[in-house]
Amino acid sequence: MPHNFESSRAQVCAIPIYVELTFHHRKNIAHGYLLSRSPTPSAATNQNPHRQGFVFLFWPPSSTVIIHRNSDQVGACEVYIFLEYQPLTFEILSSPQHQVHMALHVAALDADVPCPAVYKERGLYSSIFRSLLQDAARRLNKTQEPHQNGLAVHVTAFDAVGGSLPPLETLRRSKTEPHAGPLGPIDAILITGSGFAAYENRPWVHQMQEFIQTVYNDYPDVKIFGSCFGHQIVAHALLSRGIEANSTYHTEHWPAGYEMGIHPITLDPEFTARFPPLARATPFRIQLIHGDQVVPTPAALAAGPVSLPAPWLNIGRSAQCAVQGLYNPGRVLTFQGHFEFDTWTNTETMQEFARRGSWPAEDVISYLEQIHRSAVPGEEDDDDAKAAAEAVLLFLAGDRVVSNGLMTPPLG
């Protein structure tokens, strides 16, 4: 819903919205706050006072734009960039009339930089996750009545490899704090994939493990999501020690080699019962690219029958990987696979790995065939990436169960 905050000149009502911007012939989805009035006079409004009206503030605050005409309806609007004074096309994709009841603030920890081709087209992994989660929010919101339009997602990126992690004082400390997007506390930690290993002796890897442990132990209202490397380092940090011996898991290199591309994953019914978008994905299919796996420790195997400590769940298994993700209700969710990778992204990433590792040509050909199992020429991939993104978003929003695509009860 709208957020009020004090400026140096006035109190301003800020309404979270999504917009589509076209600038220099390139489209981009942005998100931020639509203000009822500019809090302070600007160069643009001083030059033309008739341009005063609704102001859109980007988050992160890379620039600020002002709508030329006083309109809050969905549709095209002309805007003015305060910082660069160049016109562009502006379209409100989510109307202020559809109130946002929960604006999630997600801290994305970039554990690597994408290969050059992927970075050139799509930016950092945190940027890819931002786009997919915001798309998932729009899909879920369309299933609601206008006055129940529930979710918005704001992602703040951190360079984990460079040692940048969210300050602890920015994390959510209680459920009573408002969900105010970038203006509020961090609601969740998202750990991206990486070409590094969760067991490597690197300072930033140790720092991230300690950070995960601190968040899990001291900030129970902050959720943790991990993808691939993120899945593995969460297991390494939280399940490899300090619990019963036969419940310990860690990450290790898998001697059978890479699990690559699309492989059917059988999900645990207890898990999918909480996330109906995934119940329709049978078997579950998202892109995979990993040579490490989460497995029981030698101590666990020696202690007898192995099981995850309650209430942890193994979300599912494939023929090659017995632990395809982890779930601790309300606390942790991880995927071994990459719902953020499509066929093109995984192809480029695999080929970069092959170049660095001098992989045999026959392996590359086989991996390409496995990656392209979901490709549909000229269309989106035929996989379950969208369902996975929606499930992750529902987890971040509080494990709210959905029925026929509708969030029940409505977020509030």
Element (H, E) at 12: strand 11-23
> By the 8 A CB rule, do 388 and 278 touch?
yes
pLDDT of res. 17: 52
Helices (H), 294-342: 298-302
Alpha-carbon span 274 to 279, nearest angstrom: 9
**pLDDT above 60 (res 409):** no
**What is the tally of structural domains in the chain?**
2
69 with 108, same domain? no
214 with 326, same domain? yes
pLDDT of res. 53: 41
pLDDT of res. 236: 96
Is position 248 within any domain?
yes
Predicted TM-score (pTM) of this structure: 0.77
88 with 111, same domain? no
More confident residue, 336 or 52: 336
Alpha-carbon span 14 to 362, nearest angstrom: 56
Is position 19 within any domain?
yes
225 with 286, same domain? yes
217 with 360, same domain? yes
Is position 45 within any domain?
yes
In this structure, of 46-50, 225-229, 353-357, the range with the lowest mean pLDDT score is: 46-50
Looking up tokens 């019914």 gives 269
83 with 208, same domain? no
- pLDDT per position as a tens digit, 65-112: 444 333 344 333 434 333 333 344 444 444 444 456 788 999 999 999
More confident residue, 87 or 228: 228
Residue 283 pLDDT class (50, 70, 90 cuts): very high
Measured CA distances, 232 to 71, 145, 291 (Å): 48, 39, 11
83 with 128, same domain? no
Output DSSP code: residue 180.
Answer: B
pLDDT of res. 10: 36
End position of a domain, from candidates 47, 71, 92: 92
88 with 108, same domain? no
More confident residue, 70 or 316: 316
Is position 384 within any domain?
yes
**What are the backbone angles phi and psi of residue 166, rounded to the nearest 5°?**
-60, 135
In this structure, of 152-166, 186-200, 385-399, the range with the lowest mean pLDDT score is: 385-399
171 with 85, same domain? no
Nearest to 169 by CA among 229, 215, 200: 215
Parent domain of 377:
102-404
340 with 298, same domain? yes
End position of a domain, from candidates 40, 62, 92: 92
124 with 269, same domain? yes
- pLDDT per position as a tens digit, 364-406: 999 999 999 999 888 888 999 999 999 999 999 985 444 444 4
Is position 293 within any domain?
yes
pLDDT of res. 180: 77
Residue 151 pLDDT class (50, 70, 90 cuts): confident
Is position 410 within any domain?
no
Cβ neighbours of residue 219 closer than 8 Å, sequence gap 6 or more: 168, 171, 172, 173
pLDDT of res. 95: 44
pLDDT of res. 24: 44
140 with 179, same domain? yes
pLDDT of res. 3: 44
Instruction: Output the domain CATH number for residue 107.
Output: 3.40.50.880
Is position 278 within any domain?
yes
Is position 195 within any domain?
yes
End position of a domain, from candidates 69, 92, 115: 92
Mean pLDDT of 286-305: 95
pLDDT of res. 179: 78
Proportion of the chain above pLDDT 70, given as a percent: 71
